[in-house]
Amino acid sequence: MNEVEIFEVGPRDGLQNEKRLIPTEEKVALVDCLSHAGFRRIEIASFVSPKWVPQMADSGDVLRRIKRRDGVRYAALTPNLIGLNAALVARADEVAIFASASEGFSRANLNCSIADSLTRFAPVMQAAGQAGIPVRGYISCVSDCPFDGPTPPAAVARLAGQLLAMGCYEISLGDTIGKAVPERIDMMLRAVLQEVPARQLAGHYHDTGGMALANIEASLAQGVRVFDAAVGGLGGCPYAPGASGNVATELVHEWLTGMGWRTGLNRDVLAQAARMAKDMCRGEG
């Protein structure tokens, strides 16, 4: 089957670092538009401290106000039990935890070691399991770290295996600073596939260096069939200097369909959502 799923992260990862504080109603309108594009999963919220990510302070309101569409799961980032409980109250369909394959980025992003981050996630996993909520795991810096340099593939594989063992249903592998090249992605995936089957992996490749599509192609060759993307190509990470620019959903869709893959997405709706996202960030929403 020539099917590939694009996991839309624009309403969360795409908007979280925008300097303009985007009104809740504009975020809701964007999600409602994306809900008609054919996505199975859309990440729209992040229950982290508003002190660190003020753009996501209205995540609960966004989840409560969207027009939910059958067949679409609405996801939220939840780093701790407080975040998980808030996501449950707001009726998130699934949640995500995020770890780093490099110690330097873990300390910058989570203010703790990799081992300590897993300890913190344990009660989140337990509570989500009791609530029947699926948990996705994110791994940052799978190729390069802005603090530690190149990331050893074995470190990514070890962490991916640990997250799978904790109960994550899928592991998203993030090229956080957009420096990865296909050869490095191939090496990383060969290591990770010793711990996690391809059907439970996703690629999250920033296009900062213009290599996202090439890295997706390398991942397809290794059996990966899910890729994260942000409508309009917006977003990045506040703790990774120069990492702005998730690969654009509409670009990935066009490239995949041109290669003969089916995404199930509506090109016209994607174009409309991309315009909305860009206008929002320019203050024209």
What is the token pair recorded at 199?
């059907």
Q: Are 205 and 217 in contact (CB under 8 A)?
A: no
What gap in Å lies between CA 258 and CA 70, rounded to an integer?
28
Q: Is 237 tagged catalytic?
A: yes
The residue whose two tokens read 């009791």 is: 130
- Residue 19, Cβ density class (10 Å: 0-12 exposed, 13-18 middle, ≥19 buried): exposed
Can you tell me the distance from the alpha carbon of 29 to that of 25, in angstroms, rounded to the nearest whole number?
6
User: Which residue reads 């590939």 in tokens?
Assistant: 4
Q: Which of 33, 145, 237, 281 is catalytic?
A: 237
- The packing angle between helices 267-282 and 249-258, to 10°, is 160
Residue type at 205? Y
Q: Going by C-beta distance under 8 Å and a sequence separation of 6 or more, which residues neighbour residue 21?
A: 54, 55
The shares of helix, strand and coil residues in the chain, as percent rounded to the nearest 5, are 45, 20, 35
Which residues are identified as catalytic? 237
